Structure formats: structure tokens, C-alpha cells
């Protein structure tokens, strides 16, 4: 969704989820961020000038029986809608945040999603609490799940920061070269690897 903050002609883009008749977006407020500050200062009932931009390259494949969704931070937003709308698909969501509290705002949605489909699994990591891990560490720990998804024709989707995307691609490339004859280029060409990172 492209949001037009008051006083600027430059839109700010956010990945969104469609959940029922609602649009959900997750925004981290940055001290000098025009878009995040604008959204943070809205009150219930305020009208926002925005446009929905469809990303034809980042959508859930209807053919896939399984999916691995990988996100960090606010990159989780589009996956919440995808999981809700694809209840017949086996989905493993891997999400990395800084603290347990940073994931708490999503817990009601995630618990509701799991209760509707027991095939869904949520894997979380926190970089500043507990074992201090990153989402790429989860991918290594759960490599069998990831490799099985890829080998069975499932899709791997990545949403979040570019730094995380690079780390995930490095991990995926290493796993694929060690355990399969499939490469990253082949995954992308087959539509099995989709990314929306910023």
C-alpha cells in the first residue's frame, strides 16, 4: 500500500495483509520517518490517502501444497493474510524479531491461525533475548522442513529487510548445494522463491 503523508508528494510503501474485509499493515515508528510518524499520529476514524499497488511477483502460489514463509520485523504483515487465506496449505512461518514483546502484537492473530489449521507451524527467534538468534538460525535448525518444502515443489517466500534477505539466501544456497541438486536460480525460475524486501 502506498501511503501519502500530509505535506509530501513522495509515497511511502508498506507490505500489507488482507484479512477478511480488513487491511493490516505493520509499521515500526522511526524517529525521523515521515510515513511512520504520519501513521503513528492518526486517530481512529481518520481518513488516509493511499493506493493499493499489487505486486504481481509476490503472491501466494495456489498450486503449492506447502510453503516456507520467512520474515523479520514488520515483514510479517503480508504473511498473516496469506496464511489466513490458504488454510489447505502446510505452512511454516519463520519470524525473527528483537524481543519477545516485539512479537506479542501478533500473537492473537498467530494463535488464531494455528487453531484453524494444525498443519501450520510458527518458528520465532529473538536477537536480543533468550538464545539471541536470528531468523536464518531457525532455517538452519529446521533445514529438513525447508528442504522437504523445496523438493516437493513448495514455495519459499521472504519479506523484510534486505540484510536479512541476503543472509537467508546465503543459508538457502548452502543448504541446497549440500543436500540437493537444486540451485537458487532454478527456484526463482520455477516460481518457488519469491522476495519482497526493502
Query: Can you give the residue ranges of every domain in the chain?
Result: 2-51, 66-197
Query: Ranked by mean pLDDT, which of 26-35, 85-94, 123-132, 150-159 comes out on top?
Result: 150-159
Distance CA 31, CA 161 (A): 18
Give the per-residue pLDDT at 133: 87
93: pLDDT confidence band, cut at 50, 70 and 90? very high
Distance CA 44, CA 40 (A): 11
113: pLDDT confidence band, cut at 50, 70 and 90? confident
- Burial class, 113, CB count within 10 angstroms (exposed 0-12 / middle 13-18 / buried 19+): buried
Instruction: Write down the mean pLDDT value for the chain.
Output: 90
Asked if 3 contacts 50 with a C-beta cutoff of 8 angstroms, the reply is yes
Query: Quick check: 132 pLDDT over 90?
Result: no
Asked if 192 contacts 158 with a C-beta cutoff of 8 angstroms, the reply is no
Classified by CATH at the fold level, domain 66-197 comes out as Rossmann fold (3.40.50)
Q: Give ∠ CA 46-49-50 in degrees, rounded to 5.
A: 120
Amino acid at each position: 500500500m502506498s501511503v501519502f503523508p500530509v505535506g509530501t508528494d513522495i509515497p511511502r510503501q508498506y507490505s500489507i495483509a488482507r484479512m477478511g474485509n480488513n487491511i493490516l499493515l505493520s509499521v515500526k515508528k522511526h524517529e525521523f520517518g515521515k510515513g511512520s510518524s504520519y501513521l503513528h499520529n492518526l486517530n481512529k476514524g481518520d481518513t488516509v490517502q493511499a493506493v493499493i499497488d499489487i505486486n504481481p511477483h509476490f503472491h501466494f502460489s495456489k498450486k503449492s501444497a506447502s510453503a516456507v514463509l520467512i520474515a523479520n520485523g514488520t515483514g510479517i504483515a503480508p504473511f498473516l493474510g496469506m496464511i489466513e487465506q490458504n488454510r489447505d496449505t502446510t505452512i511454516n512461518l519463520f519470524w525473527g524479531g528483537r524481543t519477545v514483546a516485539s512479537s506479542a502484537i501478533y500473537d492473537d492473530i498467530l494463535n488464531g491461525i494455528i487453531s484453524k489449521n494444525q498443519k501450520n507451524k510458527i518458528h520465532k527467534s529473538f536477537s536480543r533475548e533468550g538464545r539471541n538468534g536470528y531468523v536464518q538460525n531457525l532455517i538452519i535448525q529446521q533445514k529438513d522442513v525447508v528442504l522437504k518444502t523445496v523438493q516437493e515443489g513448495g514455495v519459499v517466500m521472504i519479506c523484510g529487510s534486505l540484510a536479512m534477505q541476503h543472509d537467508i539466501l546465503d543459508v538457502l544456497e548452502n543448504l541446497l548445494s549440500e543436500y540437493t541438486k537444486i540451485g537458487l536460480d532454478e527456484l526463482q525460475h520455477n516460481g518457488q522463491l519469491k522476495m519482497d524486501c526493502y
